[in-house]
Chains A and B, each alone.
Chain A
């Protein structure tokens, strides 16, 4: 059984100017111990997909259609209490801006402690915890151990530091620590290295690879950066304007993209090995989310567009090593 199986997920936002269809029919599966990259430009629906997996989408957003199965369980039909157990316990999320994700007036250690404590048996009343009356020595020891494991030097002392006393790289490590604290089976990492400099990014990626290998955790790694995907992920899902454009093994997709959109994404990466080549800039804009074309979402910007691309968004064609939502792949479909 897959750790995560998403079928035909639709997540909409009802705004004053109309309904924004952020996610429109996403299918996605993740197996245990697998790192899957979810790639796309900003506004493609990556983060909304991640929020939908834990049923975290809030008003005015709503999951309009589709199912999310975690370990065979229908997540979207769970009660608030059951969801609370799942969130942070079984599935955890790493946020893009970790400094923003921590409470500025609580120590980092305390915040990790509270997460662990709320997922352990015999949880105490929230008020007791709030008053700081439930300092659990076991939990604290576990948190310190985790801070150490994610490579924060001097974890015992840093336990009682506040978020603003951490550097960008260190707070991201603490965030990773928080995500792995309850031995989750699935980690949703939303652009966790964006904004970090390259050397810290490399450290975090390495850290992640090691930890995942050790704990056999599945990871959905959301990014707009294909070079990170190439370094880290087993499989890659390419999203555009709320739709999946191409899914397959990282190697296959990146070395020989079948969708013109994936090709365009690859072409717009600056190539240091070929500095003379002019960098490719994708023409046009991401379609207005309020007013998306009926046909292929990418048709207006696609260099290989055909007439029928404007009529219907193409179905996904299985070409053996991948699935591609493009009429170009129709002939290769099995």
Chain B
């Protein structure tokens, strides 16, 4: 057990410098903007006093290192300052929008998993047959289709003729579960399809690799039911590495959500970020960026823990073969 603990501790120690680095990148977004950010934000016609005022507010008059320490110190407490546009607390703005992005991303992930598992497994079991070819072509099309275009197509085909699906906006599951499902389904499909395609390819490939393993031959030579071997042992061993990929995919889902939110008019953090970029609202941009990085790193830590729990080779140690 101590080995597992050590492994987890190692992963946690990995996360700290990564998040610190992420905070540097986030902090640099404003610094890298050419010229004086305050002048940039206020425009050429603003008075010198107004610019000085904003510089003070942003802490730009201080040395850069002090500014950074100040940024990290506040960010660590979840404080990203106020929006330059609306004067709202950035954290409050984020909290208000997180549920939408969370609902969309989780639904997208769910669709990706629900679709990819059967399709990937069938592809592997029926390798070379029509079902396999169909699943491979489908997966290729899936990874080649931009999520926002798929969103537009879904609107065109489903939302325009069918009133059940709204074209714009999203209802949270806490408000109205049924409306939540209908308003989340299309954007979730748009978001989840590429991930479903990726997972399908991975799972199919993983299962085909596993089927070449010695234990599959052993099971056959010992008269163990073929379905049991395929659907239980092979599947389990093929799913294990897929789990780590699902963690990485969460990043792709969050990134994709930014665009899909724009297509379906969902008031999530992606839409917030895009508006903030057009308004040069740097505190908001930094808040969103940091939030996503923290979520992504935390999700991957979680996945590592899960993976370690499921794979005895990590849980109990021993040499990788």
Contact = CB atoms under 8 A, between A and B. Distances in A.
Q: In the complex, is A directly touching B at CB under 8 Å? A: yes
A209 B223 CA distance: 25
Interface residues of B, number: 29
The secondary-structure label for the interface of chain B is helix
Given A130-B232, A162-B313, A101 B220 contact: no
Interface string A92-116: 1101010111111111000100110
A101 B232 contact: no
A85 interface: yes
Given A162-B313, A164-B321, A101 B224 contact: no
A87 B222 contact: yes
A242 interface: no
Nearest to B216: A103
A105 B313 contact: yes
A89 B215 contact: no
B240 A83 contact: no
Interface in A115-159: 115, 118-119, 126-127, 129-130
A128 B46 CA distance: 74
B237 A103 contact: yes
B237 A93 contact: no
A75 to B, nearest CB: 13
Contact of B313 (A87, A97, A99, A104): A104
Interface string A22-53: 00000000000000000000000000000000
Interface in B113-142: none
Contacts of B223: 83-89, 115, 118-119
Nearest to A181: B222
A20 interface: no
A165 B321 CA distance: 12
A38 B228 CA distance: 33
A99 B321 contact: yes
A68 interface: no
Contacts of A93: 221-222
Interface string B191-224: 0000000000000000000000111011111111
A178 B255 CA distance: 50
A54 interface: yes
A129 B228 contact: yes
B316 interface: yes
B218 A95 contact: yes
B214 A95 contact: yes
Contacts of B222: 87-88, 92-93, 115, 118, 178
A127 B316 CA distance: 26
B221 A105 contact: no
A107 to B, nearest CB: 8
Interface in B23-56: none
B318 A105 contact: no
A264 interface: no
Contacts of B213: 100, 103
Contacts of A178: 222
A126 B225 contact: yes
Contact of B321 (A87, A104, A114, A115): A104
5 contacts: A87-B223, A88-B222, A115-B223, A126-B231, A162-B313
Given A115-B223, A126-B228, 5 more contacts: A56-B221, A80-B226, A101-B215, A115-B222, A119-B223
Closest 6 CB pairs of A and B: A88-B222, A126-B228, A100-B214, A130-B232, A87-B223, A164-B318
